[in-house]
Amino acid sequence: MIWNPEYEQMDGTELAELQLMRLQSTVAWVNERVPHYREQLEAAGVRPKDVRTLEDVERLPFTDKAVLRDTYPFGLFAVDMDHVVRIHSSSGTTGKPIVVGYTRGDLNTWAELTARVAAAAGVTEKDRAQMAFGYGMFTGGFGMHYGLERIGATVIPASAGNTERHLMMMEDFGTTALVSTPSYALYMAEVAERAGADVKALPLQVGLFGGEPCGEGMRQEIEERLGIFATDNYGLSEVGGPGVSGECECRCGLHMNEDHYLFEVIDPESGEPVGVGEQGELVITTLTKEAFPVLRYRTRDLTSIDTSPCECGRTFARMEKVRQRTDDMLIIRGVNVFPSQIEDVLLEIEGVQPHYLILVERKHRALDDLEIQIEVAEGIFAATMADMVAFSDQVSDRLFSVLGLRAKVTLVEPGAIERTAGKSQRVVDRRC
């Protein structure tokens, strides 16, 4: 179902007009209310009235994470705290987090956007949606919650963690939609299998997964083990949280909510726009945010944009699934490696489970060691030592042929790699 056809099926010219109008008001709004943006605009020699076309967005200054940190906690807020009805913060693991604020109007828009994402995944008022994102400073829980409620789905606000309880609720309440990170969904399948429960026999039908990358191999695994249709949705706290984009049932990219955000893809090195359809860093400008508008936020997420028509009838362009970030590239012995490349190789090998850990160390000066710990099926783990060595050699050879880099492959027992209820941590870089 298309939640809001008036916007989601908007004609391109009308959309561009709306975007321009909203961009102009956003620039005027931040110029008037946020000292940081006023200084930046002045330094770039741009006055709000200079924004005459959508292309003029390229004249505006970029905003990056450092600015958001430096202005902690409320330095970039564009309204008085009296008008801020909610704050959230990013899931950063080190230092101060990034704090974002919402007015009542922002919360209303946010629910609209997550309702679109959930509806695009196939959720309706008939669904019982079980929330496995945390309700807290993370934007995932509350963000998706209000969109699902707006659709009229029955929301089960179970929150993150306590997997056994999740499974019990799933069975007792007849849950039809699961909202979580893809890695947590996989973990749920595992816990159920261990307990001898048949999740596939449950009414669960659809998964709304987001918050972290989910490659096709991982998606397939989740679908097979949970017996569901898995969709991907994307967002980030800095521009509001979930609701930025989401897959429709065609699953050929994530429809971007272009009436509320302006998207650009740039070359991360030069900052210049890349060609249509080419991959680069996603840059987002909020078009309707009141409390926390952001100009040209550099997401560090790598994607490309597809403007070709989609069979679902939505006219919003689609972004390719995010698999990599500019800052998750590892340089090992001079070779550039993305964790997603390693995952793709691993998941193609029969017997390898979708749980792995990438460890990078520097034991000898300037010589990095790459170790990949992988969980393997029981049968392989219980095999003879010679068979296990042959298996890890085979994995190492496959990795070498794709990465051009020799990795030490360590087979570990099923369940040995730590699971989380949130975003999985797959890389441990001990060089830093």
Q: Which residues bind ligand DLL (CB under 6 A)?
A: 90-91, 133, 139-140, 210-213, 232-237, 241-242, 299, 301, 322, 325
> What is the number of H-type helices and E-type strands within the chain?
12, 21
CB of 178 to ligand DLL, least distance (A): 13
**Minimum CB distance to ligand DLL smaller for 158 or for 322:** 322
Nearest approach in angstroms of CB 322 to ligand DLL is: 4
Query: Closest distance between ligand DLL and the C-beta of residue 213, in Å?
Result: 4
Closer residue to ligand DLL (CB): 158 or 380: 158
* Beta-strand runs (E) in 157-224: 177-180, 206-210
Question: Which residue number, 183 or 392, has a Cβ lying nearer to ligand DLL?
Answer: 183
For residues 122 and 229, the answer to whether their CB atoms sit within 8 Å is yes
Contact 156, 175 (CB under 8 A): yes
Report in angstroms how near the CB of residue 257 gets to ligand DLL at its nearest: 13
- Phi/psi for 191 (5° steps) reads -65, -40
Q: Do 208 and 118 form a contact (C-beta atoms < 8 A)?
A: yes
Closest residue to bound ligand DLL by CB: 210
**Among 130, 226, 232, which Cα is nearest to 181's?**
232
* CB of 233 vs ligand DLL, minimal distance in Å: 5
**The token pair that represents 266 in the structure block:** 């740039």
- Give 233's strand partners: 210, 246
Q: Which is nearer to ligand DLL, 272 or 327 (CB)?
A: 327
338 vs 381 by CB, closer to ligand DLL: 338
Please name which of 186, 183, 102, 187 lies closest in space to residue 139, comparing C-alpha atoms.
Answer: 102
Q: Closest distance between ligand DLL and the C-beta of residue 321, in Å?
A: 6
- Answer for the pair 238, 68: CB distance below 8 angstroms, yes or no: yes
Contact 131, 209 (CB under 8 A): no
Half-sphere exposure of 56 (CA within 13 A, CB side): 19
Cβ distance to ligand DLL smaller for residue 12 or 92: 92
- Give me the least distance between CB of 140 and ligand DLL, in Å please: 3
Closest separation in Å from C-beta 214 to ligand DLL: 6
- 117 vs 5, 8, 14, 34, 122, CA distance in Å? 13, 11, 22, 30, 9
Closer residue to ligand DLL in complex, CB, 31/233: 233
Q: Which is nearer to ligand DLL, 176 or 240 (CB)?
A: 240
